[in-house]
Chains A and B, each alone.
Chain A
Amino acid sequence: MSHDTQAHAVDAHAHGHPSWKPYAVVLAALLVLTIVTVIAAGINFGSNTVNVVIALGIATIKATLVALYFMHLRYDKPINAVIASAGFLFLGLFLMFCMTDLDYRDDLKPSTLKEAPAKPPAAVPPPATAPHSAPSH
């Protein structure tokens, strides 16, 4: 507990907590949230989307607790939080565009467009029978 004064001068930078007790509180919260998420998984909140959002919401609260306290982001230089957030931000972008693609892909397929069968029926088959000069074996 007792640092000498010389050590304290260089010492003050990294230690978020003067005590370990806040970590125990965070652990207790994480364990309670784990039980909550298992119980919530047994309840149907209306639709699949709502269920998934609730499960991932609880997971995100847990992940935030781990990042802020166990990983010291709350007490760190903000640059580290910026880097971590950037990782999640780009993951979110990735997920968002993939999901919108999945939701609307069927609307844009040529086979689902009303005019599609009218135009190309004769034009498409002949090239398939013609010999390819391309390097396909």
Chain B
Amino acid sequence: MSSTAVHTEHDPTLQHHFATREQQFDASKIGMWLFLATEILLFGGLFVGYGLMQSKYPEAWVAAHHHLQRSLGAANTIVLLVSSFTMVLGVWAASQNKRKMLIVCLILTLLCAGIFLGVKYFEYAHKYHDGLLPGMFFDTKAHPEPAHQNIFFSFYFMMTGLHGLHILGGMGAITWVLIGAIKGRFHSNYYTPVDLVGLYWHLVDLIWIYLFPLLYLIQ
């Protein structure tokens, strides 16, 4: 980072313990994929628990999911898919030295993430109002039958909540990349942060692809 004066050929974006820039990029990418694998397993535990409880209380699951608005879930799915598209366009723009396009794509991705969270806030507020809350906070007087709907909402809030936190984290990471892009830190030879944040963002989208049918489309 600091001692570039030793030899003038030194590239500030290539750390000295890597032989080539390609090796550095591949190493970063493997690290990111390892992290993403742990994320799959983090959500995996919730998915498995959800599956077990669904097969234990199928009537409660069907009844509880009628409280979710399918149209809002579908709208959020589309918003996230579009945000994944703008993100991958951003990565492509970075690889082609298109700085303005990268900045526009990142802003659009942030905008989609904001819309997603806005819809999610609307949904949460509605559920809070109706007493459709997790576990002991569930209003059993208003929704007595069938029993165990509170377990559905425990999973609903845990899974969408954890996913929402990932969206927030992703927004932070995208903002960081956006600042870097505005400062002109990335070019076709070095855009690893854009690429890795993109991978993270696509994983968040990928998890929602499973959450949507599981939570909103039960029969």
Contacts and interface: CB of A to CB of B under 8 A. Distances in A.
A10 B48 CA distance: 44
A27 B213 contact: no
B29 interface: yes
B52 A99 contact: yes
Contacts of A3: 97, 188
Interface string B147-188: 000000000000000000000000000000000000000001
B34 A102 contact: no
A31 B199 contact: no
Interface string A33-45: 0100110010010
A38 B51 contact: no
A14 interface: yes
B70 A102 contact: no
Interface in B75-125: 77-78, 81-82, 84-85, 87-89, 92, 95-97
Interface stretch (A69-77, A114-122, A128-136): A69-77
A63 B209 contact: yes
Contacts of A88: 40
Contact of A91 (B34, B44, B52, B188): B44
How many chain B residues sit at the interface, stated as a range, is 35 or more
Contacts of B96: 1, 15
B85 A24 contact: yes
Contacts of B84: 27, 66, 70
Contacts of B78: 31, 34
Interface in B114-144: none
Given A27-B82, A31-B81, A83 B30 contact: yes
Contacts of B189: 7, 10-11
28 contacts: A1-B96, A3-B188, A10-B22, A11-B95, A13-B22, A13-B26, A15-B96, A23-B88, A23-B92, A27-B82, A30-B81, A34-B74, A41-B70, A58-B213, A70-B84, A70-B85, A70-B87, A70-B198, A71-B199, A83-B30, A90-B41, A91-B40, A91-B44, A95-B44, A95-B51, A98-B51, A99-B51, A102-B55
Interface of A: 1, 3, 7, 10-11, 13-15, 17, 20, 23-24, 26-27, 30-31, 34, 37-38, 41, 44, 48, 51, 55-56, 58-59, 62-63, 66-67, 69-71, 76-77, 79-80, 83-84, 86-88, 90-91, 94-95, 98-99, 102
Interface of B: 20-22, 25-26, 29-30, 33-34, 36-38, 40-41, 44-45, 47-48, 51-52, 55-56, 58, 70, 74, 77-78, 81-82, 84-85, 87-89, 92, 95-97, 188-189, 195, 198-199, 202-203, 205-206, 209-210, 212-214, 217, 219
